A and B are shown apart, each in its own frame.
Chain A
Amino acid sequence: MSKMFYKKIPLEELVLLSQKSDYRALEELIKREQKNIFATFSYLSKKRENIADLTQEALMRMAKGLAALRNPKTFKSWLNQIVTNLFYDELRKINRSPQVISIDEEPHEESFGRQIPDTKHKPAERAMSSELDKMIKNEIQNLPDHFRIAIILRELQGLSYEEIAEATHTTVGTVKSRIARARGRLQDGLRHYI
């Protein structure tokens, strides 16, 4: 079957085929999910040098563990569980090991100092500016770990509060308050852009 055929298959069927050791289906599944996972880790991980490794590891766990996934409908939340677990693993590692500074990273890149509103452009154009992207990433990365994972799973992954509660081993009430507080902080941090 051609590659085009796999590109058109809905996600759920792709998962089913991959579970039956259809390698081309698995290849397509990885291709579909990798950008999403990479982008997610780029907000979750404070260390840029870890993003590629974390993405690779998440995809590897996905490929290996897929056979054990009973209900293909829960694929998305299952995959996010993998991402969340890797994020927590990374946090534990960071807490244990001394800090490593990347040579790729530009110094002071993350500190923006004062926010100066850009009044020249219309909001829509401004939203496209890469400076705002950096600001958003920076603000998200500065959130406390629990807030960060909750708001990312909600806004970027579209998980329900219940799914987030399950992935982060907490209650729906806690998720609700974490997301609200994360939003409050982000709004505050990005007040000149909102």
Chain B
Amino acid sequence: MTVNLTCTQVSALLSFYIDDKLSNQLKQFVEAHLEICPTCNAKLEALRSMIKSLREVHEKLSVVKSGAEEYAQSEQNNDFSINLSAYIDNELSDEENLKVKKYIISNPKARQDLEKMYKLKKIMQNSFDKAKNNSKGDYSKFILRRIDMHEEIYGPDSFAKVVALFIIILTVFTITAVIIFWV
């Protein structure tokens, strides 16, 4: 036997239906009504999405809470600022990276610290660029000259020449000595 429920009745039952708190029979009656009634169907969807977003907000709140607690704790032993510094250098493992991201999203103090670090980075880089542009000296010619001198004195070519000359002199000297000895 099927009982045709009215829209008002179904509306009253919807939240129990979502929570699966209805008896099998009543559930069937509600489903039968939902199949033919777009208005109640829309109500069901609206209720579902509302519950879903409420759950999300709740989850976010608990993350904020735990994040804030963890931040306060970790700040004490300085771990977090070390990780935050490594975070902006992109030197953290994926897991640590995610953890820091979570803190930053949930904690305004952490965000402030991060912003300060970025600012410091920026002014340091500006300053360094300026220092680079201010250095006017050109060392290239001087270095090349010094290397040239170095090669001339110690280079393999000149060293080979000196050795060859030495061997020739030695040979000539030996031959002369031998000739003189024989004569």
Which A residues contact B (CB, under 8 angstroms)?
23, 26-28, 30-31, 34-36, 38-39, 42-43, 52, 55-56, 59-60, 63-64, 127-128, 132-133, 136-137, 140, 154-156, 160-161, 176-177, 179-181, 183-184, 186-187, 190, 193-194
Is A63's CB under 8 angstroms from B133's CB?
Answer: no
State the main secondary structure of chain A at its contact with B. helix
Q: Mark B82-119, 1 if CB is under 8 A from A, else 0.
A: 10111001010000000000000000000000001101
Residues of A within 8 A of B128 (CB): 39, 43, 155-156
**When chains A and B are docked, how far (Å) is the Cα of A63 from the Cα of B146?**
10
* Nearest CB on A from B145, distance (A): 11
By a CB distance below 8 angstroms, the chain B residues around A127 are: 122-123, 126
Q: Is the interface of B mostly helix, strand, loop or mixed?
A: helix
- The answer on a CB contact under 8 Å between A193 and B123 is yes
Name B residues whose Cβ lies closer than 8 Å to a Cβ of A: 81-82, 84-86, 89, 91, 116-117, 119-128, 130-135, 137-144, 146-147, 150
**A161 with B116: in contact, given A31-B138, A35-B132, A59-B139 (CB under 8 Å)?**
no
> When A and B form their complex, what is the total count of cross-chain residue pairs whose Cβ atoms lie within 8 Å?
108
A selection of 30 A-B contacts at a CB cut-off of 8 Å is: A23-B144, A28-B140, A30-B139, A30-B140, A31-B138, A31-B140, A38-B131, A42-B131, A42-B135, A43-B128, A55-B139, A56-B142, A56-B143, A64-B150, A127-B122, A133-B130, A136-B123, A136-B124, A137-B127, A155-B128, A160-B91, A161-B89, A176-B82, A176-B85, A176-B86, A177-B82, A180-B81, A183-B85, A187-B116, A194-B123
